[in-house]
Chain A
Amino acid sequence: GEDVEQSLFLSVREGDSSVINCTYTDSSSTYLYWYKQEPGAGLQLLTYIFSNMDMKQDQRLTVLLNKKDKHLSLRIADTQTGDSAIYFCAEGPRGRSNSGYALNFGKGTSLLVTP
């Protein structure tokens, strides 16, 4: 499949803003997603953006999409220690044999929030 790239680690201080970046390659993606994974848990959908939008805000979360550069970012305002987790960027859906869909995931960014 196409590649989705993310930086592996990010460390911020509590109360600061965090920005997690992602680049993707499939310009036909309909949606772009951010998932959060806490230790030992499954993936929790945080937010998503439709490919014809350039920004979406949801409480402390702001998603920016630059479709020309195929760049997606997630900004977390007033980051808390409870935000420490792995954040996955995903694009999709990608069709297979005209039926069924899956997402392409990045490898995840580990966010560490220090007091």
Chain B
Amino acid sequence: DVKVTQSSRYLVKRTGEKVFLECVQDMDHENMFWYRQDPGLGLRLIYFSYDVKMKEKGDIPEGYSVSREKKERFSLILESASTNQTSMYLCASSRTGTDTQYFGPGTRLTVL
């Protein structure tokens, strides 16, 4: 079975803090994705990566950056957290571009 894990289920941070969200997949998938999920807005793509050290902006990249130094790990970075970044963050991976995406359990981030 494909396994996608995220470093924290719940996280509380203060405004202005630098926040790291980690995602790891164990199936040697090429593609990895970060989405955020908000009530009434569904899932929105923040960034994705199609190979090590490669990344592309999604629909809402502002205020975020990403890092993919190893194939199995994709990190989402909030350089200076703000209250409007309070959300559920979901990581996903897929073997190739046309393959099914598998999701991690999500990290619920609260920024105070």
Contact = CB atoms under 8 A, between A and B. Distances in A.
A107 B41 contact: yes
Interface residues of A, number: 26
Interface string A22-61: 0000000011010100001111110010000000000000
B97 interface: yes
B54 to A, nearest CB: 8
Contacts of A100: 31, 48-50, 54, 56, 97
Given A41-B105, A101-B98, A105-B43, 8 more contacts: A31-B100, A42-B6, A43-B103, A88-B42, A93-B98, A101-B50, A102-B48, A106-B42
Contact of A42 (B31, B33, B59, B104): B104
Nearest to B32: A100
Interface string A97-115: 1011111011110000000
B90 to A, nearest CB: 6
Contacts of A43: 43, 90, 92, 103
Interface of B: 4, 6, 31, 33, 35, 40-43, 45, 48-50, 54, 56, 58-59, 90, 92, 94, 97-98, 100-106, 108
A95 B96 CA distance: 12
A101 B45 CA distance: 11
Nearest to B40: A107
Nearest to B42: A107
B62 to A, nearest CB: 16
B98 A31 contact: yes
A3 to B, nearest CB: 10
9 contacts: A31-B98, A35-B103, A42-B4, A42-B6, A42-B103, A42-B105, A99-B50, A100-B31, A100-B48
Interface of A: 1, 30-31, 33, 35, 40-45, 48, 88, 93, 95-97, 99-103, 105-108
A99 B96 CA distance: 10
Contacts of A1: 59
B106 A95 contact: no
Contacts of A99: 50, 54, 56, 97
